[in-house]
A and B are shown apart, each in its own frame.
Chain A
């Protein structure tokens, strides 16, 4: 077979040329990685968590490296939605990757106002509603741990935008499947999971927590088995597409998430270590399909759940 396999997938009404997404917070504003020439590969790029007003973020230290993982407490540092629309989005190189903006806020009203502003920007293809940031004191995760508040928020944002709405879920809840079902009911076009897992590290020399905020969000290969399990569970419970993420570093990881029921995958922390990770995963997925004699990536989605004869 000389023809390349069909890598395109759909997230709600949004068609992506391939299922590999650059996760929020790791391509910054899409500009930095462009210099390294590694942005062209993605199906979509998620612009970092954007709030109504600028946010300074949390005091340093904001990072703690853990075994195969990274704790961060950046705290949604961003220049605010107006600056993102005016200065950031126009600078993102248009490579064929869709542009998704991650939306965060402290109140329902704030989410709505950010969504309204972004709704008017042609270059924005979809919104990812962040109801799961563990690093801010109000909003974010407070919505995402309870099905009812999650649904109320999504319902309100749904009224503010006709763009594809992806809701990013937190693993820091006892009921991620209930939250997923609730936001589906409320009008979400897709869910993405998982956001980071709340964790901490202590510096034994100073006898103090490493992070200024004490707790931070854990990402990287360390969280992958948990993320994979949650993608498996949530994709059993909802009919809307699931974007899977959590520790994906290579094509094999992406395949696991697709097989568990994800329609697309996002790469985050791996890009910090290996800027070419996205490129390698896209190529690796293509090569795998060819080696398996398959011509469509969509056939992989949920394939680990198929009942074997």
Chain B
């Protein structure tokens, strides 16, 4: 059963459109379906959209539309949204070298879970993760779907700099750092591909609504080879997938 939309005014140029109260793939899929519909139908006045777990922040120009008009149009699009017609999400592969200097916390995560490092790799790379939303920093994906067996507390003292492409675990979340930044996540691996490039269009390898699959890289040699081709840009090779 689908709930009605809730509209929460967010100032005079934005409105939160809530589709549900929970973090689950079905609600999130509707978020992306509704967002696609708003863009496809070019709803008048809308100038930016921020999809999140269970809502969309719709930015609108009140000189071009009114809030009641906008709400009516979005509600109409939601009523007509057919779950089966929502586009099939992409699955984006992120080649990842696990362990060693690339994943200095792999051993800790294994020990904490009572598993071998290879079992951690198998579980972590054996799941497709949903990009529920992006935020926190440019290109940062909020992923859902980490096996509870791999949940690991954060570091007590965050590292001052985590290299771009680092793949980590924090509590029951997993993610990949698009740019170098400080952070307290347990690092299990690193990807040689670029996740964010301000000059590219779109600037991010991932988009909200995608699925992500971490694909283990066999050796450092292969990592370096992939790193070299990654210099060509974040979308190089995408067409082949």
A-B interaction: no
Q: Which residues of A contact B (CB under 8 A)?
A: none
Q: Which residues of B contact A (CB under 8 A)?
A: none
